[in-house]
Amino acid sequence: MTELAIATRDLTRRFGSQTAVDRVSLAVPRGSVFGFLGPNGSGKTTTIRMLLGLIEPTAGESSVLGESMPDSWRSVLPRVGALVEGPAFYPFLSGTANLRRLDAADRDSDRRTRLARVSDALARVGLSHAENKPVKAYSLGMKQRLGLANAMLRPRDLLVLDEPTNGLDPQGTREVRSLIRSFAADGTTVFVSSHLLAEVEQLCTHAAVMSAGAIVAQGTLDELRGPDATTVVVLTPDRALAHDVLLKAGLTPDPATPVDGVRAHLDRSRGGADDLVAALVAAGVRVRGFSLEEPSLEDRFVALTGEGFDVVA
């Protein structure tokens, strides 16, 4: 458990007769960038609120940074930065003034370094040019960046970010990705809730997929894609010969074969792509193209749940 930044066992939350989170068991390794995936309404935010002690679970247990939550919230939360359900600020105060007030409300903050830390946080999220503007004049994306700045006003062992790129344009999204990578490079565990599969696939080392309040899969990205997820595509006029070579190499030919080649599922335990190309050439196959196709996390999600991410569970 000491190697886990977040661990839950059968975490459950009911609202009356409705079960919003159903026996969720998470294992988030320290130092990872962990993607918490699921459609809007699947229970991600409710789970996060339980992890942070904002609401109590109906059943189950959780620990954050090795300590039981919500019992140990006083010692845990100062080590956690969070952005949950969109940031809320005083609209008539500037970005700088908002961050100063929020930092002053933290009993563990150092007032002597407050001004410098606020300035550094605003610079890191690209808001130095707007630090004296009232927040009511900020765009949604700027407010999201200000929320990130607030989460990083002091060094954290864990960052919990709920839809951190919400409202950002493509450039802002890339900047936030870069920020998250820099947090992880500094040794911070980052827990990112998102419904954007492609974004998590670019960013995360581990992930869990949630649907209708339950975890349907979790692990490293390779584990989520599955052990036999890679497909070999060989472009050649010698389709029959290539088919036989791949079959002898232990691959399973795919009926969905292109007209100018052959497709097959690759079992990596039987050898890599280099060995396959060598075997094809040695057998006299004229190889005009060779590629490996990896399914996206969205492909895996649809296979697990039978629904796409446009569906609200």
User: So where are the chain's domains?
Assistant: 4-225, 231-293
pLDDT band at 270 (very low <50, low <70, confident <90, very high): low
Q: How confident is the model at residue 273 (pLDDT cuts 50, 70, 90)?
A: confident
Residue 131 has pLDDT above 50, yes or no: yes
In the predicted structure, residue 103 carries a pLDDT above the cut 80: yes
d(CA 4, CA 65): 7
For the chain, counts of helices (H) and of strands (E): 11, 15
Q: How confident is the model at residue 267 (pLDDT cuts 50, 70, 90)?
A: low
Mean pLDDT of 296-307: 66
The model's pLDDT over 81-96, given as tens digits with 9 standing for 90+, comes to: 998 877 789 999 999 9
Helix intervals (H) in 186-220: 197-203
Residue with the two structure tokens 């903050």: 109
> 241, 249 in Cβ contact below 8 A?
no
Tens-place pLDDT, residues 4-42: 999 999 999 999 999 999 999 999 999 999 999 887 788
Q: What is the CATH number of domain 231-293?
A: 3.30.70
Mean pLDDT over each residue of the chain, to the nearest integer: 86
Question: Which of 2.40.370.10, 3.40.50.10420, 3.40.50.720, 3.40.50.300 would CATH assign to domain 4-225?
Answer: 3.40.50.300
pLDDT at position 307 over 60 = no
pLDDT at site 94: 96
- Could you say which DSSP state residue 156 is in? -
Q: What is the DSSP letter of 86?
A: S
**Identity (one letter) of the amino acid at 61?**
E
Q: What is the pLDDT of residues 35-75, one digit of tens each?
A: 998 877 889 999 999 999 999 999 999 999 999 999 999 99
